């Protein structure tokens, strides 16, 4: 199934479940592969320049807890830590705003969320941070999973 079919499914739900914002994000990704990186960097900038400056934590475990709280408070989804050390972390997102319950479109779609996680961590810890989505509702997975790398 492609983006066009998923957008038709959103229309059938008549806006329930974050339909409009999901339709906006998926439409951008449907028309241009460049929007994937634009969404990632927009999320990263927002996380680093706005969200991180509102937080006070300075160690990886506390920052990850802040990210979890932010995702919950803003209705982005239920984020949890699968594993972590000082240089990497694996995070799981259930009921994610972009991909929860969607049909498979054959590729990841949660680029904004990945960038947001990277930006918050980078902004608080002053470490170059990248986040890659390993599992996604857009690929037919039941939850999203992100790999965080800090250097």
Q: Domain of 127: which CATH number?
A: 3.30.1380.20
Instruction: Write down the pLDDT at residue 101.
Output: 84
Confidence of residue 32 (pLDDT cuts 50, 70, 90): confident
Please give the pLDDT value at position 68.
98
* Token reading at 126: 């002053």
- Mean pLDDT computed over 73-100: 94
Question: How far is the C-alpha of 150 from the C-alpha of 141, rounded, in Å?
Answer: 25
Q: Which of 24-28, 65-69, 79-83 has the lowest mean pLDDT?
A: 24-28
Would you tell me how many other CB atoms lie within 10 Å of the CB of residue 39? 22
What does each C-alpha distance from 116 to 8, 54, 73, 132 come to in angstroms? 27, 14, 14, 12
Count of structural domains within the chain: 1
Q: Which domain does 60 fall in, by range?
A: 3-150
Q: Is 30 exposed, middle or buried (0-12, 13-18, 19+ CB in 10 A)?
A: middle
Supply 89's token pair.
């972390």
pTM: 0.85
């Amino acid at each position: 199934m492609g983006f066009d079919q998923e957008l038709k499914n959103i229309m059938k739900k008549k806006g329930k479940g974050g339909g409009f914002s999901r339709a906006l994000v998926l439409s951008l990704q449907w028309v241009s592969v460049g929007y994937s990186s634009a969404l990632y960097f927009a999320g990263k900038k927002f996380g680093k320049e706005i969200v991180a400056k509102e937080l006070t934590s300075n160690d990886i475990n506390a920052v990850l807890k802040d990210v979890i709280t932010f995702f919950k408070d803003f209705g982005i989804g239920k984020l949890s830590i699968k594993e972590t050390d000082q240089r990497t972390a694996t995070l799981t997102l259930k009921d994610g705003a972009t991909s929860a319950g969607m049909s498979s479109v054959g590729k990841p779609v949660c680029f904004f969320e990945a960038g947001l996680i990277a930006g918050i961590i980078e902004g608080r810890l002053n470490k170059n941070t990248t986040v890659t989505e390993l599992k996604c509702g857009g690929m037919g997975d039941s939850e999203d999973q992100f790999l965080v790398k800090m250097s």
